[in-house]
């Protein structure tokens, strides 16, 4: 297994599974709820945060001759709308790579564009830009930002190297592979955190996942991190020693 976390010292993570299946813990001292959908809920700010929707990835692949069912945007936005209904946020933060490419907005179906406009109705909508959508939206409402300070946290698309207390990011699409006692394994998208910083799973229907044991995660965590694997209606806390490489 790759040495993602340089410090071998034991650390007891303080977390609790909520009645709704979410995982409650503190990130850089700020209260956070990791939702089974892959969304982050910051109750103090009434802010819903999702990363890496990669809207219109299906149509992007189709333009290059790889035909995929063209329903990824609809499915992703339906799941996001369900989170908005459940939590009634005052703010929705799209944490980068909301679109799969810079022409995705042009390919949006009219009803999907309406759903995105609805996100800004009666609340603040913030588009944090990522590497796939560095220009931000052109015809859709909301504020555009490179990063955002909120509730004592710094929200940005791509995690920065070295110690970054309070950083919340996406970009890496973390996934956890866990071996079962019977010799099999399960692989799920996941949150990953060392209680100082947090990396969100990709929220998009067609977004993939990178194993958290991959060298891309090396050096980001001060201690062996905790994975919050997305299950059916529940986030499962998984310690570093229970994670496996692909």
Supply angle C-alpha 192, 196, 197, rounded to 5: 45
Exposure string over 46-59, b if 16+ CB within 10 A, otherwise e:
ebbbbbbbbbbbbb
Whether 159 contacts 199, CB under 8 Å? yes
Whether 168 contacts 26, CB under 8 Å? no
Tens-digit pLDDT profile for residues 188-217: 999 999 999 999 999 999 998 999 999 999
Three-class secondary structure of residue 123 per DSSP? coil
- Please give the domain boundaries of the chain with CATH numbers for all domains: 20-242 (3.60.21)
pLDDT truncated to tens, each residue of the chain (246 aa)? 444 544 455 688 999 999 999 999 999 999 999 999 999 999 999 999 999 999 998 776 655 656 667 789 999 999 999 999 999 999 999 999 999 888 888 899 999 999 999 999 999 999 999 887 788 898 999 999 999 999 999 999 999 999 899 999 999 999 999 987 777 899 999 999 999 999 999 999 999 899 999 999 999 998 999 999 999 999 999 999 999 999
Dihedral of alpha carbons 207, 189, 85, 32, sign: negative
């Amino acid at each position: 297994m790759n040495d993602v976390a340089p410090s071998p010292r034991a650390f007891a993570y303080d977390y609790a599974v909520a009645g709704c299946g979410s995982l409650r813990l503190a990130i850089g001292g700020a209260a956070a709820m990791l939702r089974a959908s892959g969304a982050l809920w910051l109750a103090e700010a009434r802010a819903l945060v999702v990363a890496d929707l990669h809207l219109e990835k299906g149509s992007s692949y189709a333009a290059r001759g790889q035909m995929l069912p063209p329903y990824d945007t609809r499915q992703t936005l339906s799941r996001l709308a369900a989170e908005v209904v459940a939590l009634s946020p005052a703010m929705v933060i799209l944490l980068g790579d909301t679109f799969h490419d810079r022409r995705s907005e042009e390919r949006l179906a009219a009803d999907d564009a309406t759903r995105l406009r609805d996100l800004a109705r009666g609340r603040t909508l913030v588009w944090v830009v990522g590497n796939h959508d560095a220009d931000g939206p052109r015809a859709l409402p909301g504020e555009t930002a490179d990063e955002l300070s909120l509730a004592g946290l710094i929200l940005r698309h791509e995690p920065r190297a070295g110690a970054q207390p309070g950083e919340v990011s996406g970009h890496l699409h973390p996934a956890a592979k866990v071996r079962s006692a019977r010799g099999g394994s399960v692989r799920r998208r996941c949150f990953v955190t060392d209680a100082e910083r947090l990396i969100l799973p990709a929220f998009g229907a067609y977004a993939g996942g990178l194993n958290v044991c991959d060298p891309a995660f090396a050096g980001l965590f001060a201690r062996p991190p905790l994975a919050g694997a997305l299950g059916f209606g529940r986030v499962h806390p998984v310690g570093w020693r229970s994670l496996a490489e692909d």
